[in-house]
Amino acid sequence: MRETLGLTGPKKGCDLGQCGACTVLVDGRRITSCLTFALMHGGREVTTIEGLGGDPEGDLHPVQQAFVDHDAFQCGFCTPGQIMSAVALLAEGHAGDDDEIREWMSGNLCRCAAYPNIVAAITAAAGR
């Protein structure tokens, strides 16, 4: 995705399935793309952060906007993966409270420790 398609939103962090920086959606389900061969998903819809908001010149996706509104990032390296995972979490119905959000976002690490703001952003997005 990054080198052939130029989609540099998904990040290569650990390359071991442990950090979540590479998270994308396949048919709406989150996966760690670093552990996934493209040929395993032929014919399926793969969504990266680039495709989340639809029109690149249009409005941000509500989860993207919530991350901006709540300062839910510092360096931003983990952010595309956090947002993709948060979108799936909301679709899965796992935003009941802070503890549930933390549990279901536990596969996405943030070395800047923006966790409180990430939880606040997801909570806000869940209410929209």
Q: Using CB under 6 A, list all residues that contact ligand FES.
A: 12-15, 17-22, 32, 34, 73-79, 110-112, 114
Shortest approach of ligand FES to residue 91 CB, angstroms?
20
Run of H or E including 30: strand 29-32
Shortest approach of ligand FES to residue 16 CB, angstroms?
6
Comparing CB distances to ligand FES, the nearer of 5 and 75 is 75
Contact 30, 94 (CB under 8 A): no
Residue 74, sorted as left (phi over 0), alpha (psi -120 to 50) or beta, turns out to be alpha
Contact 63, 81 (CB under 8 A): no
Shortest approach of ligand FES to residue 57 CB, angstroms?
25
Comparing CB distances to ligand FES, the nearer of 51 and 115 is 115
Comparing CB distances to ligand FES, the nearer of 4 and 55 is 4
Comparing CB distances to ligand FES, the nearer of 54 and 116 is 116
Q: What are the helix (H) ranges across the chain?
A: 62-69, 79-92, 98-104, 115-126
Shortest approach of ligand FES to residue 106 CB, angstroms?
12
Tokens linked to 91:
């679709």
Tokens linked to 101:
């959000």
Tokens linked to 27:
């048919």
